[in-house]
């Protein structure tokens, strides 16, 4: 049961965040304002591309974990390919968010991203402990 809840947690977390971003301004004014003084603004479409990357990862994470749920990868001895790649994409997302927080000197948010990363590593190890990918 815990594995199902882990999948549902991350499907909700990533899916809702990705959908909200898709339905809003692209990128929103606050995102542009936050990164306009960074090197991302010096790159052609750098701020836009970084926002797109975050949205693509969030949607991909929700899709990967949804497929894992449908395929029953939460069952013991099930091959956990989609779950594994969902966790990897999630860790990459948290590293990107952590890096973004630190380049704008938002250390409180960066700490939160660090904690999310650590909790995700723990849950990934718990989720994948019995099975091999």
Backbone φ, ψ for residue 86 (5° rounding): -65, -45
- The answer to whether residue 38 scores a pLDDT higher than 60 is yes
- The answer to whether residue 114 scores a pLDDT higher than 60 is yes
**What pLDDT sits at residue 130?**
62
Between 132 and 117, whose confidence is greater? Answer: 117
- The answer to whether residue 76 scores a pLDDT higher than 80 is no
Dihedral sign for Cα atoms in the order 100, 82, 123, 11: positive
- The answer to whether residue 131 scores a pLDDT higher than 70 is no
Q: What is the pTM of this model?
A: 0.87
- The answer to whether residue 115 scores a pLDDT higher than 60 is yes
Alpha helices in 1-133 (DSSP H): 2-23, 29-35, 39-42, 46-71, 81-103, 107-128
pLDDT band at 77 (very low <50, low <70, confident <90, very high): confident
Mean pLDDT of 10-15: 94
């Amino acid at each position: 049961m815990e594995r199902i809840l882990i999948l549902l947690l991350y499907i909700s977390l990533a899916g809702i965040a990705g959908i909200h971003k898709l339905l809003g301004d692209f990128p929103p004014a606050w995102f542009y304002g936050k990164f306009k003084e960074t090197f991302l603004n010096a790159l052609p479409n750098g701020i836009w591309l970084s926002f797109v990357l975050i949205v693509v990862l969030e949607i991909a994470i929700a899709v990967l974990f949804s497929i894992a749920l449908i395929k029953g990868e939460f069952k013991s001895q099930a091959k956990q390919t989609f779950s594994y790649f969902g966790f990897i994409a999630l860790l990459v997302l948290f590293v990107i968010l952590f890096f973004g927080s630190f380049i704008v000197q938002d250390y409180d948010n960066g700490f939160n991203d660090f904690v999310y990363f650590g909790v995700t590593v723990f849950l990934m190890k718990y989720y994948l402990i019995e099975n091999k990918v």
